[in-house]
Structure 1
Amino acid sequence: MKQALVFATNNPNKIAEIQEQLGDRYVFRSLKDIGCTEEIPETADTLEGNARLKARHVRDNYRQDCFSEDTGLEVYALNKEPGVGTAHYAGPHRSAEDNNAKLLSELGPRKDRLARFRTVICLVQGLEEQLFEGICEGRIATCPLGKDGFGYDPVFVPTEGDGRTFAQMSRAEKARFSHRARAMAKLEHYLKRQQDAAHPSV
């Protein structure tokens, strides 16, 4: 029997990335699928805190085990900003174009453009909570490049790549380096261990 998973988001880009990675191994549902239409507050001052808030909201109000993620872009020359404020760096309207423009403006002509993406996933099953982290080191380009991806993908160049931004890569190429994919791989490994323990081979 496939394990049911609720992902505490309605972001279609994140859903597509996770669905592609999970494939048909799980019964996958979004917030919309379980009837959760309210805005879940993200008021914590850490990625871990926001991931926990979203996952716990679903568990407490909808009685569904779920996982949630929060992702931050940390630019070293900017004291790891935008960090927990990544999604609304340029304002509450959460415009990716405006966020990228502000980031490039804040960096200006600096040569130190090192940065990293960090994703934290919180899995809530009943009263149990588990955290999984994925990190992708890279640098910020001097201008947006590429038309695929979302968020800061047009300005983020992963260190392990070939010099292209995430937005210049296909989804499969991005998954090789993606912070979110790495955090998801840890979540998958944990769930598989649970399944193996519950159904040991004879």
Structure 2
Amino acid sequence: HRNPAGAASRWPARLSDAAPATRVEPTSPIKGVVTAPSTTLVLATANPNKVAELVELLADLPVDVVGRPDYVAEVEETGTTFAANADLKAVAVARAVGCWALADDSGFETDALDGVPGVRSARFAADLMASGDLTDADLVASTASTTLPRTTAAGPDTVDEANRRALAVMLGRRPNDVDRARFRCALSLADPAGDVRLRSEGVVEGRVITAGRGTLGFGYDPMFVPDDGDGATFAEMSRSAKAAISHRGRALAALVEAMESTGWPGGSDTRE
């Protein structure tokens, strides 16, 4: 995916809306490290949904945006925070391919469950099954979040569906009136040497519902109603409407503005 240099940027306008929920952190100057591979930005994820979102959101940068090559092994996410996991992935992929790498680590947090699923969002059902806190029967019985992809009589037929059902089960075990929730995204940008140069974070607040709605998006999207929307879940929004207010869109808006201010990938960074 290649974008022309000098193309008009849409990021500052989006950033003005996203600013209250974003943070960007320069970790070290970018100057002096731009080499030939700088025209390629590798996304340190194999998740096709995330790749599609990130490619669209990065459309204004004059770089080739590509997904993680098949020969690069999946990075084990051993960090206890989203930022730590994003760093791990960005560093590993940048070193493996010798190009700039952008890593995303994101997840869903619910106040009723003290922030769970959090950093284990992608493995929530599997973790609960492994610990014995959830059974196949629990998942089959949970029909609260049955949204597309369709489920089968034998149980959920996708990891996303299993995670949604698991969350509905766990929320049901702790009945209360607390429905506050949020999506959080951490991004890390590493240079070809594997040094993290920029980090950003985006958060979108809202509420969790156990009866999922919508067939778009992925992950916990059918179960989240953002405060900044019109009452629709993320899974009921078009990709562009979601990107304008989402955690990933906000984090990337902040990161891209910082990248553009340095002249990346071909300019210099004069900040100390």
TM-score, with structure 1 as normaliser = 0.90
Report the secondary structure of 2:126's partner residue. Answer: coil
Give the 4+ runs in structure 1 shifted more than 6 A. none
1:117 to 137, 162, 183: 183
Give the corresponding residue for 2:53: 17
Give the corresponding residue for 2:126: 91
Per-residue CA shift, 1:129-162, capped at 9, x if unaligned? 3210000001111301000000000101101111
What 5-or-longer segments of structure 2 have no aligned partner? 6-38, 130-157
Matched, 1:183 2:183: no
Q: How far apart are the structure 2 equivalents of 1:27 and 1:63?
A: 14
1:178 CA drift (Å): 0.6
Q: Which has the higher contact order (CA 8 A, sep 6+)?
A: 2
- Kept after mapping to 2: 8 A contact 1:136/1:158: yes
Larger Rg: 1 or 2? Answer: 2
Q: What are the equivalent positions in structure 2 for 1:21-170 lying under 5 Å apart?
A: 21-23=57-59, 25=61, 26-32=63-69, 35-91=70-126, 95-108=159-172, 109-125=175-191, 126=193, 127-170=195-238
Report the secondary structure of 2:183's partner residue. Answer: strand
- Kept after mapping to 2: 8 A contact 1:107/1:113: no
Report the secondary structure of 1:90's partner residue. Answer: helix
What 5-or-longer segments of structure 1 have no aligned partner? none
Per-residue CA shift, 1:32-52, capped at 9, x if unaligned? 2xx534221111111111101
**Deviation larger for 9-18 or 23-32:** 23-32
The structure with the greater share of residues assigned to strand is 1
Using the aligned pairs only, state the percent identity.
Answer: 39
Q: Please tell me the root mean square deviation across aligned C-alpha atoms, in Å.
A: 2.1
**Deviation larger for 145-154 or 90-99:** 90-99
Which one-letter code corresponds to 1:23 in the other structure? Answer: A
Aligned residues: 198
Report the secondary structure of 2:203's partner residue. Answer: strand
